[in-house]
Amino acid sequence: MEQSAKVNNEVQSLFWADLFDKPVAVEFTAEKLTENAGLLLFGALDRRMGLTARIAADLHDQRDPDLIVHTLEDLVRQRIYGLLGGFADCNDAARLRDDPTFRLLLGRKLDDEQDALASQPTFSRFENRLSKGSLLRWGFTLADVVLTRQRERRKRVRRITLDLDPTDDATHGQQQLTFFNTYYDAWCYLPLLAFATFHDERNTEESERYLLAALLRPGNSGPSVGLPFVLRRLVARCRALFPEARIRVRLDGAYATPAIFKLLEDELCVEYIVNMGKNDVLKRLAAPALIRARLAATLAGKTERVFVEEWYKAGKWSAARRTIIKAEVTLDPRDESKEMRDNPRFVITNLKSDPKHIYCENYCPRGAMEKEINELKRDLFIDRTSCSDFKANQVRVLLTATAYALVQELRSQCAQTEAGRWEVATLRTRVIKLASVVCESTRRWLLKLSRCTPHRALWLQLAKCVGAVAT
């Protein structure tokens, strides 16, 4: 097998004699080509934001200064740009050590073999050596940079909504602190993700949810583990940067506990909407509204909803709280054989609006957060937590969160273009994965892209958004 691979690497040309209208030859002789020229957009954006520079400055480097070849800033940048380019693992470093775009972005000479990029063992040491304090500062810096950029972009913010939710991160090896979780029916970690959504002066909620925190937690963590710490920090920073804005918190049903309500009401003094799981008492409260919804569904021949409110006090709560009830009866008009089905839902809130507005306009947009979570998993590999050490896996989660901050900043800056709505995979396919010849002289770098580059006009527009000037 090794001999076969060696022979394949030594092949310089291939030939098809009679399959096409003319003979076709393929040669592996072109020099200084890259497939990642579009990463230049994120390199420029990163430098304008100062994101990786600030993060690296907050990390404690325990290495001997006289022996350092790759700075922490270089290591953070190389891994983040690799994630943006679709390279999920440290093992990909071997393939990227001589990539011209990565050499450009990390300030390495194009033709100097001794000035190579970091290798997989270097990244493994980097992931395993960072202290808990460094990781904490990394998380703080990430949130501060994202919020500061939003402050610079907006004159006035009416409201900020904070969404916090756990997600499952399945594990398949001997990772530290991985446990079997009965809810997800898998061995996993349970990272806690926090997003912020901004409301304009008309109180319209924007579509982009900005990732502010990503905290890796053991697989057997209770729902509230880490949430008070994250929430206190984010609310404090939002109030410091946006004193004119109201803060609203949206949470899933697992957080409807006395301790969380006390935190929201007495300590943080924020608006909140918290989902509440079904129980016998709530079902009895919803029964009259369900009767009305069933009658409406029967007459209309389709699903109907009725929204009402009640005051509900769980056994351990200190007081009754306003409870919004969505009494829904589902009916499929295309299949008359299916019976009607009751589908009541409950949310606890301190908002004053009417029940339908609270549920449909204030709470339901929370479901769109799954889009961002799917992007983080599918396109930026936040669940690639395969290190044996728990702390090293937190490093990987933060690397992905930082890469996503760059994606969201690019989408914000080009919001008026079609790329402002693209997910990570689409951005990667259309504007990152560009073939280019790369040249370096004593005066400048030069990237030569094809005249037939797809989305050429858009790429030029994005480049101008991140500081490029037409010549």
pLDDT tens by residue, 346-404: 999 999 999 999 999 999 999 889 999 999 999 999 999 999 999 999 999 999 999 99
Q: What is the bridge-based pairing of β-strands 169-170 and 186-189? A: antiparallel
Q: Give whole-number Cα distances, 65 to 68, 92, 125, in Å.
A: 5, 26, 15
Q: Which two tokens stand for residue 138?
A: 């990394």
**How far is it, in rounded angstroms, from Cα 464 to Cα 438?**
20
* The residue type at 108: R
Residue 10 is predicted with a pLDDT of 65
Query: In 9-158, which ranges are E strands?
Result: 13-16, 24-27, 33-34
Q: Please state the separation of Cα 311 from the chain's center in Å.
A: 36
Residue 471 is predicted with a pLDDT of 80
Identify the sign of the CA torsion 228, 233, 234, 238. Answer: positive
pLDDT tens by residue, 191-245: 999 999 999 877 788 889 999 999 999 999 988 999 999 999 999 999 999 999 9
pLDDT tens by residue, 430-453: 999 999 999 999 899 999 998 888
8 Å CB contact between 34 and 435:
yes
Tell me the β-bridge partners of 15.
25
**How far is it, in rounded angstroms, from Cα 277 to Cα 265?**
20
Residue with tokens 């994606």: 407
Residues of the chain with pLDDT under 70: 1-12, 335-337
Instruction: Give the distance between the most distant pair of CA atoms in the chain.
Output: 83
- Please give the backbone phi and psi of residue 307, each rounded to the nearest 5 degrees, phi first: -110, 125
Domain limits of the chain?
32-127+413-465, 132-257+364-399, 280-343
Residue 7 is predicted with a pLDDT of 45
8 Å CB contact between 380 and 357:
no
Identify the sign of the CA torsion 211, 217, 221, 226. Answer: negative
Q: Which two tokens stand for residue 281?
A: 């008492």
8 Å CB contact between 92 and 82:
yes
8 Å CB contact between 195 and 405:
no
**How far is it, in rounded angstroms, from Cα 340 to Cα 135?**
51
- The DSSP result for 434-452, as a single string, is --EEEEE-SS-EEEEE-TT
